[in-house]
Structure 1
């Protein structure tokens, strides 16, 4: 039984480290290269419109996006720390929480982001990303349940 537990712990650690790398990288890019990342993600014209029209708006938006990037970077560090937890019950609890978080983000995109004219063409792609990230946690839960009940 020890190999089954260590196997699911290894999968949990791998998923956490992958998500941590994505979150920390995206957060750092948002903090330091906001305009360039916005152009890559949304296109040059949309990125220009999302920057704001007045200097005050631009500063407010840039500050807000930098703090969002800092939060995302902190989430990446948290995921990195959680990756090394070996408690099976905590892993299942954490995975379920991550599934709920990604589902909430998907619902946010469906009900709110799609209504924003400047982001209307981006939300389907981001929705797929939310669903794929959530699916990784679902697959972990299925794998750990299969090990538990076999």
Structure 2
């Protein structure tokens, strides 16, 4: 896995979101360019569905509270009804390989938020892999967001 290149990460804050606030709702949408290897992180009160690409390889994440604990809960689409099982397997492998870099992009891209709210740094990360194929449908823990610095 390649590590994050900060020069290739572009961050945009949507209306009603700023580098340090609000804490909730605070949602992330990460997309990328296959040709330039640039990453595009949108931070806002809603997911940036308008940035989704035809490949549907964006990663969404949002802050949630479970049992009074802050959690960064993410979503990736491995396979829908139009995806073959072999393509689903390949997409699953790509997401598994690239998610640490994606989480690093969330952590680095929103670093001013984490500096202003250090209590979020140790929040656990969970990613929901969504798929019509049961073998790829899973919820995976990724440890605390602080490990992706």
Interval of TM-score (by shorter of Structure 1 and Structure 2): 0.3 to 0.5
Greater helix fraction, Structure 1 or Structure 2: 1
Could you tell me the TM-score, scaled by structure 1's length? 0.34
Larger Rg: 1
Q: Which has the higher contact order (CA 8 A, sep 6+)?
A: 1
Greater strand fraction, Structure 1 or Structure 2: 2
Could you tell me the TM-score, scaled by structure 2's length? 0.34
